[in-house]
Amino acid sequence: MRRPSAAASPERRFIQGVSQRQHGSCQAKSAWFAGNDFTAADIQMSFPLEAPAARGGLDATRPRLMAFPERIYARPAYKRALGRGGPYELLS
C-alpha cells in the first residue's frame, strides 16, 4: 500500500478544514462530541483523527483536531486500559 506524502494535498486541506470547523462547532456547544458526557461516540470519532495524525497529514495547523484525541489519552480510564492491554498503535 502506498503511503500518502506528508505534504497535504488541496483535497486533504479542504477535508481537514471542514473537519476542524465541524468539530469546533460541536466543541463550542458541549464538552465532547455527542454532548457533555464522554461516550463511545468520542472513542469512535478519535479514529478518523488518529489515522491522519499518524501518517503526518494532521499536524499543529489544526489545533482543535489535534487536541481531541489528546483529551481522550489524558483520561484515567484510557491510561488504565493501556495498562491492562498494552501499548496501542494505530499504524505499525
**Interval 19-36: pLDDT, tens:** 666 555 555 677 888 888
Q: What pLDDT was estimated at residue 2? A: 45
The single-letter DSSP state of residue 33 is T
Give the global pTM.
0.64
> Hey, is 32 helix, strand or coil?
strand
Phi, psi dihedral angles at 32 (to 5 degrees): -125, 180
C-alpha cell at 40: 463511545
Which domains does the chain possess? Answer: 12-85 (1.20.1050.10)
Higher pLDDT among residues 84 and 14, named by residue: 84
Diameter over CA atoms, the chain: 41
Q: What pLDDT was estimated at residue 62? A: 80
pLDDT over 70 (residue 57): yes
